[in-house]
Structure 1
Amino acid sequence: MKFSELWLREWVNPNIDTNKLCEQLTMLGLEVENVSSVSSFFHGVVSGEIVECKEKLDCHKIKFTKVNIGNGKILNIMCNADNCRLGLKVVVAPIKTILPKQKEVQQINFYEYVSEGIICSLSTLGLSDKEDQFIIELPHDVSIGKDIYNYLKLNDNIIEVNITPNRADCLSIMGIARDLAALNCLPFENLINNPISPKINDDLLIYIHEPKACPQYLSRIIKDINVNISTPFWIKERLRRCGIASVNVVIDINNYVLIEIGQPIFAFDLDCIDSYLAVRMAKDNEILILNNGKKIHLNNTVLVISDKNKVLSIAGVCNDLRSTIHDSTRDILLECAYFNPLSVINNIRYCNLHTDTSHRYERGIDYKLQYKAIEYVTKLLMEICKGKAGPIIDKTYDRLFHKSKLVIDLHRKKLNRLIGYKISDSQVNDTLTRLGFNIHKEIDKWKVIVPSWRVDILIEEDLLEEIIRIFGYYNIPNVPIKTNLKIIAPSKGMVLLKRIKNFLVNMGYHEVITYSFVNPKIQKILHPNKHAVPIMNPISKDMSVMRLSLRTGLLNILHYNQNYQQNRLRLFENGYCFIPDKTAEFGIRQELMLSGILNGNISKDHWDKTNKLADFYDLKGDLESLFELSNHIEDINFFSRSISALHPGKSAVIYLNDKEIGYIGEIHPDLQKRLKIKNEIVIFELMCNELINSKHIRIQEISRFPANRRDISIIVNEQIPAANVITLCKKIGINQLVGINLLDVYRGKDIAKGYKSLTISLILQDTKRTLKEEEIAIIVNRYIMALKERFQVTLRN
């Protein structure tokens, strides 16, 4: 929010400079983001009056004027502004005047005409970055020869503060001034309600069909106003310093009140309202036309203001073009309402519109400000535009609107404990009172009544924050912490998980952290048969569901890095996935997962090495090393299986004993092309809780006797996984078996169709003696007989 420092000081004026003022605002929680001067310094610029204004036929648009600047001085000045006219009070820079950026005004000779100065626009004085076609029009009552720098109060600063979403009360000059007054122990007066006596009795039927969304709707008819009168310069200038452009006098006054006290006001052209006014939900396919001509098609979830035949405005957001104030408007209807913030938020999201008014409504406004605001706007309109005001038309639902005052108990013990310092009772009383709270002191606590403008104060901790905010964090003395800290040893599982992650880093992988919210379209491609958990209020459409696996985020990161010419990537992530499960709490099961991805060359480029692209077996080798680290390698098996989004011939599920704990595979080539990712992508995903379950480690003495290796080549049915063969061999129970490996898989010549050849290596070793050849032959024969019995294998010649 931007505002003028001088405007703020009209409400409360502490005896401090601008730097200290900004420091105080920041300490109050209103972070100052920028401070800038209204204008660069200039001098010699004065007010004047155009006493003669002529045009020559051969000089297109150039007007030759005589301007009275006082003290008997009348200057000849050429001007090409569209609004230059006789009798206008203007800003004049005579010859040798120093303008912003050290620009000195020079005499200009144009044929026989001599121009002795400049009639200034806003850009001439450095008040606008845009080149203006219009000169500044001063009020008619300004005296001639007045110094403009002082008259326009250009010794002002524009302060920009970042208002947090909870401090809706500070989206106005009045709200910020209230906090400053409390901090500096200065008096503060809220806006006084000065009722305007009605001059006419005109009324309009108002129907509230949605009282929960709009529990109070105030309106007033004002007739015979002059909307073509120029907005007073002081209003336009204050709005300009707040970053708001002038539109017309009625809208400018509404915006002025919005900035000053924080209550949105809308104005309708009364002649555009047919029969009555209604606050209701829109009908499907009703249309609202914006000021730029764009049409918004509404539905029955949007709260609108309408008449008998058409929508006049989207509640709390914007007016329809057909009902807004025009040059021909003579009679208006003012609207000053309290809308439920949730209704306005819904309107903003549906229409994708965000305005200054909706910004305040969605955060919550003071529910006692509406009467004061409509009277204040009426007063300004009567003073500037004249006209005749009618009575206030009040549609208030007392049961819904007149809320019971929120009373919060503030306990002395809790105040001392959370702040860590005892603030005296008198300071607590004084602080809360200055902030507008009503308090009643009891023995060990205060009964605190929350003011209507503090919609963010709901619990006791909120009151503690208010007290310390005004008391000053810097006023609390530094005290060493006195407590008994207990060091809790991490679980074995978490220690193992950290070791696994360190292992992956040492293997050249980079850990990434991605959002749990993912793109539903991409996730549906990766998991076509699964339903994701939707998010009620997503950040964007591309982040509207919870992730079912980590591969969605990893593929996004991979694509992002490839766009930055990173063509060798090893990534992993550890995090939770969210699986719909009716048996779980809240219907969602959280699964801790570990996932990794390989893409590009196996090693970095080297002049003496021929590189190759990473494939399925490279990643499988890394995983086997990981399982050795976790002491699970003996219990792990890989089984070929088709998995959604993976290559059907290059994917496998991973089993720990008899439980499936993950998968490994290459991303399907079609999906790779759709994602626009170069080179094959190999990925794995594991269930962490199964992986990090601690396993009892059996330690035994290393045998000093020689080991013996025997290879068995068998022919087995193609449908039997090699892992099943290895598992059976392990289960036979030969104590001398210390190692078993699959050496070779062969299909082709001399092997019948539907069969494959497996070569298995057996490592045999005894701990007490050297095995004899006869003993080894008996052991090998036991393995062969077991395989023949279970899988009907035959020995390969």
Structure 2
Amino acid sequence: MRVPLSWLREYVELPEEVTPRALASALISAGLEVETVDVVGADITGPVVAGRVLDIEELTGFKKPIRFCRVDVGGANGTGEPQEIVCGARNFAEGDLVVVALPGAVLPGDFAISARKTYGRVSAGMICSASELELWEDHAGIIVLPEGAADPGADAYGLLGLRDDVLDIAVTPDRGYALSIRGVAREAAAVYGVPFTDPADVAPPERNDGGYPAVVADPEICSRYVLRGVSGFDPAAPSPLWMRRRLHLAGVRSVSLAVDVTNYVMMELGQPLHAWDRSALRGPIEVRLAKPGEKLETLDHVVRELDPDDILITDDSGPINIAGVMGGLDTEIGDASTDVLIEAAHFAETHIARTSRRHQLSSESSRRFERGVDSAVQMAAATRAVALLAELGGAVVDDGVTHLDLGAPRDPIVVRADNAGRIAGVAYPVETEIARLRLVGCEVVQDGDTLSVTPPTWRPDLTDPNDLAEEVIRYEGYENIPAVRPRAEAGRGLTRGQRLRRGVGRTLADAGFSEVLNYPFMGERDLDGLQLEPGDARRSALRLANPLNDDEPLLRTTLLPGLLKALVRNVGRGFGDVALFEMGLVYRPEPGAPERAPMLGVDRGPTPEERAAVDAAIPNQPRRVGAVLAGQRERAGWWGPGRAATWADAIQAAREVAAAAGVELVVRADRHAPWHPGRCAALYVAGADGERLVGHAGELHPRVVKAYGLPERVAAVEVELDLVEAAAGAATAPEVSTYPVATQDVALLVDGTVHAADVEAALREGAGALLESVRLFDVYTGEQVGEGRKSLAYSLRLRAGDRTLTAEEATAARDAAVALAAERTGAVLRG
């Protein structure tokens, strides 16, 4: 909403010393988002005056008509003699009052005016058009001022409003009243505590009947409907200069007097209006919802299929308007319209909002209706419009008036007298709260410790006690609410889960991973790309009612889609060696859970049944950590050829996550989408109830790589951090032995189908308490071990906490470990 300060000052008595930027700052403090303060006309300097054309000489011999004019500019040129000016415009005659820029003036675009010879004559100045002064869009010719507007030589700056300050306000959806000069003026008056003149305070008509016949089918779609008409309107009457200038400053294009009047009143009062050529109407008007199959050609020459949710204005011929959005082509005001019917209505906000989005028609009218307009200003707006048509267009206002008032009075909101103070944490006196609410326009009745507050009709956004508290707080000043730092209870610190998440993040960052934060949304296409089977639990996702992106309407059930798309973006920008990780929630609905949670009011607490219904709709939200790797894990250099990232690096990342939690990870081969069947590991941790699956790691399936456009051989891991945390016991300090370690290496021959993890588990159990660690350091297959067999070489570190181990003790522990491995896996000690 663009608000010219000169227009605003007509309705609020701002102190003279208030600057535009000070006003903007005050309105911002009160909650309006003033984005900029534009100084319009600041680039126009020098003498710009009114002048009377004394005589015109038509010059011949040129490719276009040229006129040599003598213009009386009074004493503005310092001599009092007529100014001689060459001009090519044809829309003025001798005796007309025009606007003249004299030598020394500078017009927009840094266009300096000087005396110069052109077309064989000396032109000492310029007769100006509206476009040259950037007053409004007009290419018809120069400005012809109304007779008597000014004397020759009079300054044109004030006459035309060449300079003005304009506030550009970004109006939030809850403050529709600010989409008008009236609404902003009321805010400014409240901020500065100065008188406010309501432009809607016009004399009502003497009668409320006898107007054009109309009916409203349903009060729920239109609570008030007003029609007023004029006859004998001059369609050729021009819009006055002041109106065209104000509309231009407010960002509205001037069209014709009838249309300009409706737009002017809309900008002034916030009430959208529509003007019809009354002779084009066929029978009584009806306000109703559209019927299936109905169509309407709107003013933009588009034939639109109407929806049963659209509010229509109809006559006997069918639809003539999409209510609150756009008019129909057949009944628009034309060059021959002499009888004009003005409509002012209060339509249902939700219907208008849905219609505007459905038809992709966002207009100044729909913007106001969908935010909520004053439900009692319709008669004033229509009366103001017909009065302007009569004053400026020579029309006669019809005696008859159509006024259908189907609305119900607003119920009062009962609040505690100290409600605003309790919410802000500031002790506002009750008298202050009452005064601020009355300043907004509320009717307030105090009854002991409670207030009964009836909001005004122009504030449909005030619906509950918190809204009323906001009004008190913002006028008292958000900056006056003290900032109090919350004090943490002594001895608390981070929770166990917080320490774990920080530790995991540091561990992965130390290992060379970069953390990313992705939106928690995904689509069916993402799940298809992961090659998930139709019955996979990860396909059961919660669908958003209003997604940010139609391609991602689901809450994620796995971290992998976001990580893989982030990997693609990095690779596409030239970063081929990538290691990314993310910690975050995934959303896993319970089988049979409702698809929607119930919408609860804010006027009371929920009942146990309502709480249960909400809880049933909330999905499980486990916290997970995921990582992806591509390219070189170890870069090449003078130290060596480097090494590509493999499935083993993904498993190692999982081991480091588990180590950060202080738990041991058990790794076993598995088949699980989206990983490659032969390069996928299931990850387990041991708990009181046995081993629990906490995630998977490995190399992604080639079909997944192709679906996402990934580089070859991408590795990934996803671990449920909540399960890892649950398996972690109380943190204990490790025992550090001062005695030396004994190392024993063993090489075991096993069948090719035996998993190294099973061999390792047997060695750990067999070696007993003396085993400090076991590490697989070599895997060999070839002719020396036979077809279908492999050699696994392990290093066993043995240590006792109370003595130095003897060679016999170390050998016995090794032999016990080998014996158990042989018993469980068929391993044979390799010679």
Q: What is the Cα deviation at residue 288 of structure 1?
A: 4.6
The residue number in structure 2 matching 1:327 is 335
Per-residue CA deviation, residues 609-651 of structure 1 (Å, 9 max, x unaligned), is 4344322222322332332332223x4213231413x444433
Q: What is the Cα deviation at residue 237 of structure 1?
A: 0.3
Most deviating of 609-618 and 192-201: 192-201
Distance in 1 separating the partners of 2:115 and 2:740: 111
The reply to whether residue 140 of structure 1 matches residue 173 of structure 2 is no
The residue number in structure 2 matching 1:663 is 696
Gaps of 5+ in 1: none
The reply to whether residue 653 of structure 1 matches residue 690 of structure 2 is no
Q: What is the Cα deviation at residue 8 of structure 1?
A: 0.5
Distance in 1 separating the partners of 2:219 and 2:797: 86
The reply to whether residue 619 of structure 1 matches residue 613 of structure 2 is no
Distance in 2 separating the partners of 1:781 and 1:200: 106
Q: What is the Cα deviation at residue 737 of structure 1?
A: 4.5
The residue number in structure 1 matching 2:667 is 637
Distance in 1 separating the partners of 2:298 and 2:144: 30
Per-residue CA deviation, residues 505-547 of structure 1 (Å, 9 max, x unaligned), is 2222222222223455334433644143221122332443212
Distance in 2 separating the partners of 1:86 and 1:541: 64
Q: Match of 1:142, as an amino acid?
A: A
Q: Match of 2:374, as an amino acid?
A: D
SS in 2 for 1:504: helix
Per-residue CA deviation, residues 139-188 of structure 1 (Å, 9 max, x unaligned), is 33413413211212334211212333322222211111112212222222
Distance in 2 separating the partners of 1:555 and 1:756: 36
Of 53, 62, 65, which aligns to 2:65?
A: 62
Q: What is the Cα deviation at residue 498 of structure 1?
A: 1.0
Gaps of 5+ in 2: 75-79, 594-615
Q: What is the Cα deviation at residue 681 of structure 1?
A: 2.9
The reply to whether residue 688 of structure 1 matches residue 721 of structure 2 is yes
Distance 1:688 1:583, change over 3 A: farther
Of 441, 444, 451, which aligns to 1:436?
A: 441
Equivalenced residues, count: 783
Of 365, 380, 398, which aligns to 1:372?
A: 380
The answer (yes or no) to whether the contact 2:698–2:716 under 8 Å persists in 1 is yes
Q: Match of 2:437, as an amino acid?
A: L
Q: Match of 2:456, as an amino acid?
A: P
The residue number in structure 1 matching 2:11 is 11
Q: What is the Cα deviation at residue 205 of structure 1?
A: 4.1
Of 500, 507, 529, which aligns to 1:496?
A: 500
The answer (yes or no) to whether the contact 2:230–2:395 under 8 Å persists in 1 is yes
TM-score (norm 1): 0.88
Q: What is the Cα deviation at residue 217 of structure 1?
A: 2.9
Q: What is the Cα deviation at residue 782 of structure 1?
A: 3.3
The answer (yes or no) to whether the contact 2:324–2:347 under 8 Å persists in 1 is yes
The residue number in structure 2 matching 1:79 is 87
The residue number in structure 1 matching 2:411 is 405
Instruction: Work out the percentage of aligned pairs sharing the same amino acid.
Output: 26
The reply to whether residue 267 of structure 1 matches residue 275 of structure 2 is yes
Distance in 2 separating the partners of 1:752 and 1:218: 97
Q: What is the Cα deviation at residue 715 of structure 1?
A: 3.3
Distance in 1 separating the partners of 2:96 and 2:522: 62
Q: What is the Cα deviation at residue 305 of structure 1?
A: 3.3
The reply to whether residue 34 of structure 1 matches residue 47 of structure 2 is no
Distance 1:285 1:26, change over 3 A: same
Q: Match of 2:385, as an amino acid?
A: V
The answer (yes or no) to whether the contact 2:224–2:345 under 8 Å persists in 1 is yes
SS in 1 for 2:684: strand
Distance in 2 separating the partners of 1:339 and 1:173: 21
The reply to whether residue 707 of structure 1 matches residue 742 of structure 2 is yes
The residue number in structure 1 matching 2:597 is none
The residue number in structure 2 matching 1:226 is 234
SS in 2 for 1:11: coil
Distance 1:511 1:81, change over 3 A: farther
Distance in 2 separating the partners of 1:296 and 1:402: 33
Q: What is the Cα deviation at residue 52 of structure 1?
A: 5.2
RMSD after superposition? 3.5
SS in 1 for 2:622: strand
Distance 1:93 1:781, change over 3 A: closer
The reply to whether residue 783 of structure 1 matches residue 820 of structure 2 is yes
Distance in 1 separating the partners of 2:750 and 2:485: 73
Q: What is the Cα deviation at residue 49 of structure 1?
A: 4.1
Q: What is the Cα deviation at residue 68 of structure 1?
A: 4.4
Q: Match of 1:26, as an amino acid?
A: I
Q: Match of 1:227, as an amino acid?
A: P
Q: What is the Cα deviation at residue 586 of structure 1?
A: 0.6
Distance 1:517 1:270, change over 3 A: farther
The residue number in structure 2 matching 1:300 is 308
Q: Match of 1:639, as an amino acid?
A: A
Q: Match of 2:5, as an amino acid?
A: E
Of 40, 46, 51, which aligns to 1:48?
A: 51
The residue number in structure 1 matching 2:609 is none
Q: What is the Cα deviation at residue 82 of structure 1?
A: 6.1
The residue number in structure 1 matching 2:794 is 761
The reply to whether residue 122 of structure 1 matches residue 139 of structure 2 is no
The residue number in structure 1 matching 2:389 is 381
Q: Match of 2:341, as an amino acid?
A: L
Of 743, 757, 764, which aligns to 1:723?
A: 757
The reply to whether residue 521 of structure 1 matches residue 531 of structure 2 is no
Most deviating of 180-189 and 387-396: 387-396
The reply to whether residue 567 of structure 1 matches residue 585 of structure 2 is no
The answer (yes or no) to whether the contact 1:494–1:692 under 8 Å persists in 2 is no
